[in-house]
Structure 1
């Protein structure tokens, strides 16, 4: 599913025009990005939590040459799904498995 698919579904379910639904999705994603860039968590009840984690610099290897390479410190975003989200995905997987 792509961002445009989400916008289309929002438009279909709310009666918004497609442009308005696109704006809604853009605003939501922008707010999530801004909050994470400040180092704060984004908690969406019954869906999950986005959190920023710092990764330390470390030694690695260039996969092509095998030579040692420094991997710089960086921030990453982790997503921890909420229980209803996990249950929905697990139920879907169980249904798909039972069909086979």
Structure 2
């Protein structure tokens, strides 16, 4: 499902009449989740799951082309854990 299909589906499901409003809500949700993760907070959407930020330490890797050892920098990554209700709905 792409962004346009998601907007249409949310509009149909929610009963909202304006696609621009639905798009603004989805973009705001994305921005709020991103800002919260940057601040180190977790975001829980009940029935859907939990977004969290996870720190990955610096580590050693290899260049697959040359086999040369290299250092992969530390980074933060987004992690999503599905809620039990979502897992149950899929099975």
| TM-score, scaled relative to structure 2 | 0.91
Report what 1:25 is aligned to.
Answer: 26
Count of matched residue positions in the alignment of Structure 1 and Structure 2: 90
RMSD: 1.1
CA deviation digits over 1:28-82, x for unaligned, max 9? 1111111111110001111111111111101100122211111000001111111
Contact 1:60 1:70 in 2 (8 A): yes
1:46 aligns with 2:36: no
Contact 2:40 2:53 in 1 (8 A): yes
Deviation at 1:6, TM superposition (A): 1.3
Report what 2:74 is aligned to.
Answer: 73
Report what 1:4 is aligned to.
Answer: 4
- Normalized per residue, the structure richer in helix is 1
SS of 2:54's equivalent in the other structure is strand
Matches of 1:38 and 1:6, distance apart in 2? 27
Contact 2:16 2:22 in 1 (8 A): no
Report what 2:57 is aligned to.
Answer: 56
Gaps of 5+ in 1: 92-100
SS of 1:43's equivalent in the other structure is strand
